[in-house]
Amino acid sequence: MTSNNLFRKFLLKNHSLLLVAIFMGSLAFTSCKKQPVATGPTAEEQMIAQAKSELQALLNNESMSIEEKERRLQAIKDKNIQDAEVQSLIAQVEAQIAKAKAEQLRMEEEEKRRQAELERQRKLESSPAYKLNNFFNSIGSASSADAANAQISQALGLFSSPSAPVLIIIAQSGGITDYDEPTTIQKYLNYLKDQKKKADTIENIVFDDAGKIKELELTKLR
């Protein structure tokens, strides 16, 4: 009996055992192949994750200045990360910055308008016409003759003289201006006091060199 025969006999006798051994061996080999490599995320993966985190933080931060957000966003964009989610977040932050800039611009314009209006109001309130109108109203609505007289005295301080002329336009047609009979400021102010009337509208004021009113033109047409 040769050794080959013996081997053949052994195979025939134990073929089942052999198949099991082969199967187990192949299983062990296969499972060894599928086992992951025991290393951490790659540098690129880390960069992507960090970018996402920073971008999300930028989106959520409402107190950061626009300039700072722009600076940080630019730093992320400079990394040139080709990741769809990162690109989407960048677009969101850009949109947020654009919206904030537009809002800031609107608020600046609004503030400019408000300041201009305040300035216009300050100028108006310090103008003789405004002061005079206030006197007209307070004289016409004074509760007593004494109160009206006190206002008249103050109002006369705006004028070069109590006899400063007051002209009142009653009509304008075909290039002709018609006036009521000219009066003086003292008489006109007393007229408002007596008649308790709303004053005619100021049309024009002529000042003297000292900045006092030397002639007043009113109109009934407005």
As measured in angstroms, the least distance from the Cβ of 110 to other proteins is 44
Nearest partner of 93 among 71, 73, 68, 64, judged by Cα: 73
Helix 84-126 and helix 128-140, axial crossing angle in degrees, nearest 10: 70
Asked if 143 and 193 count as a contact pair (C-beta separation under 8 A), the reply is no
Q: Does 176 bind other proteins (CB under 8 A)?
A: yes
Q: Does 178 bind other proteins (CB under 8 A)?
A: yes
How remote is the C-alpha of 182 from its chain's centroid? Answer: 53
Q: Does 171 bind other proteins (CB under 8 A)?
A: yes
Q: Does 181 bind other proteins (CB under 8 A)?
A: yes
Q: Does 210 bind other proteins (CB under 8 A)?
A: no
| Residues numbered 96-155 forming contacts with other proteins, rule: CB under 8 A | 145
Q: Does 94 bind other proteins (CB under 8 A)?
A: no
Residues 6+ apart with CB under 8 A from 27: none
When binding is defined by CB under 8 A, the residue of 150, 167, 202, 205 that contacts other proteins is 167
Asked if 100 and 66 count as a contact pair (C-beta separation under 8 A), the reply is yes
Residues that bind other proteins (rule: CB under 8 A) add up to a total of 24
As measured in angstroms, the least distance from the Cβ of 126 to other proteins is 25
Largest CA-CA distance found in the chain, in angstroms, rounded: 158
- Nearer of residues 68 and 194 to other proteins, judged by Cβ: 194
Rounded to 5°, the CA angle 169-175-179 comes to: 20
Interface with other proteins (CB under 8 A): 145, 165, 167, 170-171, 173-174, 176-182, 187, 190-191, 194-196, 206, 214-215, 220
